[in-house]
Structure 1
């Protein structure tokens, strides 16, 4: 099975469970950053990047990102990937194409999250390692 559907399914399940269980408290040494400039290709593919640091992951840890323009209530998921929680700082980069709405070069708001899916009985419960929200500029490639 391709990675993107698995990541999207896992993040969707985590979001649903968050409403029921609430977020876990993150270690203050853990962080995620977003680079101030993102890229948008001529085919509409958006690439976002930054750095992260996390420790003590016992389940899979995912780096997710979303982007909004104009209407900040409308968020577009931009890719996702796995993280290594070894206490060192690592780079992340997510790419994705938004269907149904054209994004354009200019101001945007990015939210990035490090979410661990911890086993709890027969379900995986989300535990947040780090979250951030930042204004960026999308530049045309």
Structure 2
């Protein structure tokens, strides 16, 4: 291979790596700071049509990309979780309520003890791709009851 095309290929590869490389360290872990929290209400609701509603509160600060509060539920299984919606979040340092609803697991979920996980996640721009940045995470046992 002639030297000039090989150098051009290497330069293009290096340029792509620079564009995609993080400009700041990517954040991971359960919480970005102690002032960022998510809570889960002790009781979830299941409507007659099977719609499951989970709720709680959250507080987050300093977001650059879009932020969401996601939640999932599990019953009688450590390996199967059901996503229960997602809510847009505002990271202004104030305490806010969140509420997520879903009908997808209606035939599987029953009233009773449930394991719920709630997460505040930001789609943080890093290079040309948004990567998840976790602001807070909580896993709690609640009671799912008929509404």
| TM-score category of the 2 structures, normalised to the smaller one | 0.7 to 0.9
The alignment's C-alpha RMSD in Å is 1.6
Partner-residue secondary structure (3-state), 2:144: strand
Over 6 Å off, 4+ runs: none
Answer yes or no: is 1:71 the counterpart of 2:77: yes
Determine which of 106, 114, 125 is the counterpart of 2:112: 106
C-alpha contact (below 8 Å) 1:72/1:109 kept by paired residues = no
Paired residues, what number? 121
For normalisation by structure 2, the TM-score amounts to 0.78
1:56 aligned partner: 62
Q: CA 1:74/1:22 → structure 2, altered by over 3 Å: closer, same or farther?
A: farther
Which one has the largest radius of gyration? 2
1:136 CA drift (Å): 0.2
1:102 CA drift (Å): 2.1
Answer yes or no: is 1:23 the counterpart of 2:17: no
1:121 CA drift (Å): 1.8
Q: Structure 1 CA distance, aligned partners of 2:60 and 2:51?
A: 28
Unaligned runs of 5+ in 2: 1-25
Unaligned runs of 5+ in 1: 1-20
For normalisation by structure 1, the TM-score amounts to 0.81
